[in-house]
């Protein structure tokens, strides 16, 4: 996996979404393991002097300290990512963060769930279902239960891996916005691909009910 030399940048912007930052390990069809690493915060603003949309990875402790929410105006520093294929956020190792203007608390009828994101333990307990890329990019994007995960596929055990990004949902099974999307291929060397068509979702979320 090719690594890039990180560079430190300054950024500022208005928060569009805060999502769990997760990685997923896939092996054939019977193993899909989710790891919960912090949060990806998505901004409209300016990064390294360029007006753009961008995302910054932060830790759980940083979120607990600042209590970021959608609409906050924030500034800080960060480093460019090292691995293009496995790092979804644009910037990592965030620091010197400061809230310039706090968004007013508003009450919106879900879905989407425009709430302060819960702790990592909550996502771990709830488990995730596959979410269609179209839904993720649309009405689900601002939802605290949506995520775009970095996926590592064990393609040739201990020798070769493949990487991609997949969208998932930790929200209630009853959510009217939810769509799984197409089954996802899980390739393995000399064995072609098998397809995750949703049965792993049932295993990952078996500890909660339809409206949880």
Residue 32 lies in a domain: yes
Counted domains in the chain: 1
Residues in the chain: 212
Q: Is residue 30 part of a domain?
A: yes
| 209 within a domain of the structure (yes/no) | no
Give residue 108's pLDDT: 81
Domain assignment present for 19: yes
pLDDT of residue 3: 72
Residue 85 lies in a domain: yes
Tell me whether residue 210 is in a domain.
Answer: no
Domain range spanning residue 133? 8-204
> How far is residue 32's CA from residue 153's CA, in Å, rounded to a whole number?
9
Residue-wise pLDDT tens digits, 114-158: 999 999 999 999 999 999 999 999 999 999 999 999 999 999 998
Distance in angstroms (rounded) separating the CA atoms of residues 40 and 20? 6
Residue 185 tokens, joined: 């291929």
pLDDT digits (tens, 9 = 90+) for 32-69: 999 999 999 999 999 999 999 999 999 999 999 999 99
Residue 63 lies in a domain: yes
Query: Mapping DSSP to helix (H, G, I), strand (E, B) and coil, where does residue 174 land?
Result: coil
Instruction: State the Cα–Cα distance between residues 168 and 113, nearest whole angstrom.
Output: 15
What the block records as the tokens of 36 is 């919960």
The whole-model pTM stands at 0.94
Element (H, E) at 124: helix 120-126
Is position 3 within any domain?
A: no
């Amino acid at each position: 996996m090719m690594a890039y030399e990180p560079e430190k940048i300054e950024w500022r912007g208005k928060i569009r979404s805060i999502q769990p930052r997760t990685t997923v390990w896939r092996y054939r069809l019977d193993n899909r393991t989710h790891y919960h690493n912090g949060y990806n915060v998505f901004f409209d603003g300016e990064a390294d002097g360029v007006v753009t949309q961008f995302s910054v990875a932060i830790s759980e402790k940083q979120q607990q300290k600042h209590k970021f929410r959608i609409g906050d105006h924030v500034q800080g520093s960060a480093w460019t990512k090292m691995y293009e294929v496995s790092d979804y956020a644009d910037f990592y190792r965030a620091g010197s963060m400061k809230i310039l203007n706090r968004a007013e608390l508003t009450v919106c009828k879900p879905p989407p769930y425009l709430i302060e994101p819960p702790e990592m333990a909550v996502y771990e307990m709830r488990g995730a279902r596959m979410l269609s890329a179209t839904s993720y990019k649309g009405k689900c994007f601002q939802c605290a239960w949506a995520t775009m995960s970095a996926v590592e596929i064990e393609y040739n055990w201990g020798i070769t891996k493949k990487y991609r990004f997949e969208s998932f949902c930790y929200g209630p099974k009853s959510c009217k916005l939810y769509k799984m999307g197409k089954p996802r291929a899980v390739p393995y060397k000399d064995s072609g691909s098998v397809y995750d068509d949703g049965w792993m979702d049932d295993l990952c979320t078996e500890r909660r009910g339809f409206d949880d």
